[in-house]
Structure formats: structure tokens, C-alpha cells
Amino acid sequence: MYDWINKRSLVEYIAQEDQMEFEHKDFRFEKIVTESTPGDITSLAQFFMAGSIWLNDNFQIGIPVHDEEVLKLVVSEVAPHFKEVKQCMAQGEVNVIYMKNVKPGSKMLFASAKNGVLPVMADLYRHRDLSNWYIGRKRNVLHYTVNGNALQSYSIPGTSALRTVLEKAFWGRDEPYVLLPTGWIFDDSLRDSAALRFFAGFVPCLTLVIDADSNEVITLQLSREESRHQIRLNSARPNPPRRNKDHLYLDIGRGLVYVINLAGQSPILNWDELKESTIYSLSKNQKYAEFDHEHGVSLPEGRGLFFSEEWVQAMIDTVNRELNIKRN
């Protein structure tokens, strides 16, 4: 059993995290007016339409189109099926095509189709209810890499365009493509999955992310290389908070420092109660101990970061502790 799952994982030891870099590009969005509903539907279109039709019509689909062939395929075969189509422009070039809301006529084409990748998508989305996908707590997850050679191959004619787009837009650029299966439970019967068997025929690496408590498959990742489980050595861990007069510095990693002005600040329960806080980026080769916000460079406007609930609570506790020290 489970001979289709690799029995080992790659480990990467991190001695020092790479500094996060922010490109100063001018982005703008341009609306694309698509032609009338096409008279047919390709496997490429089916693949990117299925989630919107079966799960949520408000899904926004974004496809990187740095490659000219990918751009032509998306504009000609996928975009005409959607009501809302925008292209993200940067430095005069199209970076991403965003699409949302499938046209009524295209929904009819999708429903009447008898071939293409519909068996794959029907297996991927075994039920159409996403209400339980967000469970309101941090999941304990396990990562399993699929041994594609152990699966019975499942090839589908007419899918060369889909393969081209997925490879050139995503893992060919070292960007994994992440799918959200519904109704998947991790057990040995998954070896017969039409979706897994299809993707194993051309995707270099398939990774299942499993909820360790429920055995539910949370995501299926398509990538060029097997993911590495990173272990941070002490040298890569954030430095302790430090003060510079009325300002508190929090090392948040990747060469970034959260600076909070404690002057006039009251204790907080939520992060948005901070009166003045800014994220700064360390200059190249600058050490955290040398950082001074008065001579630093703040995060470019329009950029943002996401933090886990544990991170946010730890930062709140640190701010309140420093405020208490300051009062005493």
C-alpha cells in the first residue's frame, strides 16, 4: 500500500534568510472587451472555468502571461468565456490576465461538453460545497510527494495547450500551481484518482498537503521540483525586539523591520489599534543591530504583508510589554 507516495522528504537548513526585495514597478489594470461567446470550448478553457461554474462564480482566475504563446492561448481560448477580463500591465508589458464570472452561453457549452478534461475536473471537485474549507483554526499539515511512476497513466487527447500554459505560466517559472480538491480523503484509493493520474503524466512533481487531524486533502500542488521542508537555524531566527527612544523595532525576518511609535500609544488588543507603525527594509548587508528608522527606507506604497495569527498575537504582546516598561 501507498507505494505511490515517496517515503522520504527533502530538508533544507536555513542559516540566513534571503532579504525580501520589492520591485518598484508601476502597475495598472486595463479592461479587455472580449468577443461574443465562442461556439466551442477547449480543454484549456474547461480547466480554468470548472471552479467558477461548480464552486463559486466570483472566483477570480489569474494566469501569468509573460510568455507570448501563453498570452495568445489565454486570450483566444479562455478569456472569451468570461464577462470580466482585465490585464495587469507593468512597464508596458502584460504580466497577468485576470478573469471572473463565466458568460451564460459558456456555462451552457460547459454543461453540454462530453469530452476534454471534464472527468479530471469532476474528480478534482468531488463535491461543490466550500463552506467547510475554512475551519477557523490553524491546521496541522503533512506533505506527501506523489510517485507518479507508480500511477496508471491517464492521457487525454487535445490537452497540449493546457500543458503548455501550466508549464510556461507556473512551474516553468518556479511558481507552483495550487489546486483545492474537494471531497478528497488521503487513503490508498487516491492512487486511482483521474486527476492525479492525468497530472502525473506531465507535471514534474505533485505534492498533497493533508490535514493531519482529519486526513482531508487540503491542496494539490503542481511544481517543477519537490518542496523542501525548511529548518531554520538559530542564525536565521528573528532578532529580539529593541528600542530606539520612543520607537520599538520588531525584526520580522527577510530583512524587514516593523517600527512602532510608542509615544502616546495605549495598550492594544488588536493590531489596527496602533497609531503609528511602518515596515522598513534593511539596506543591503545592513545588520538589524545597525538599523535606524530615521535613515531607513520604508516599504513601497501599495505593498503589504500577511502574518499568521500567532505572529500578530506575539507582536501585540511585545508592544504591550514595552508600553508597560515605559510607564514604569
Please name every residue paired with 220 in a beta bridge, in sequence order, or none if there are none: 179, 208
Q: Please give the Cα distance from 162 to 202 (Å, whole number).
A: 11
Tell me the whole-structure pTM to 2 decimals.
Answer: 0.73
Task: Report whether 60 contacts 29 (CB < 8 A).
Answer: no
Mean pLDDT of 286-293: 90
pLDDT at residue 292 greater than cutoff 90: yes
Q: What is the CA angle 315-325-271, rounded to 5? A: 25
- H helices of 100-219, where? 104-112, 118-124, 160-169, 194-200
pLDDT band of residue 309 (cuts 50, 70, 90) is confident
In 3D space, the residue among 179, 61, 186 whose CA is nearest the CA of residue 125 turns out to be 179
Q: What is the pLDDT of residues 189-226, one digit of tens each?
A: 999 999 999 999 999 999 999 999 999 999 999 999 88
Q: Taking the CA atoms of 70, 76, 77 and 81 in sequence, report the sign of the dihedral they define.
A: positive
Give φ, ψ of 115 to 5 degrees: -140, -160
Report pLDDT for 136: 65
Report pLDDT for 18: 60
Task: Report whether 64 contacts 96 (CB < 8 A).
Answer: yes
pLDDT at residue 23 greater than cutoff 60: no
Report pLDDT for 173: 84
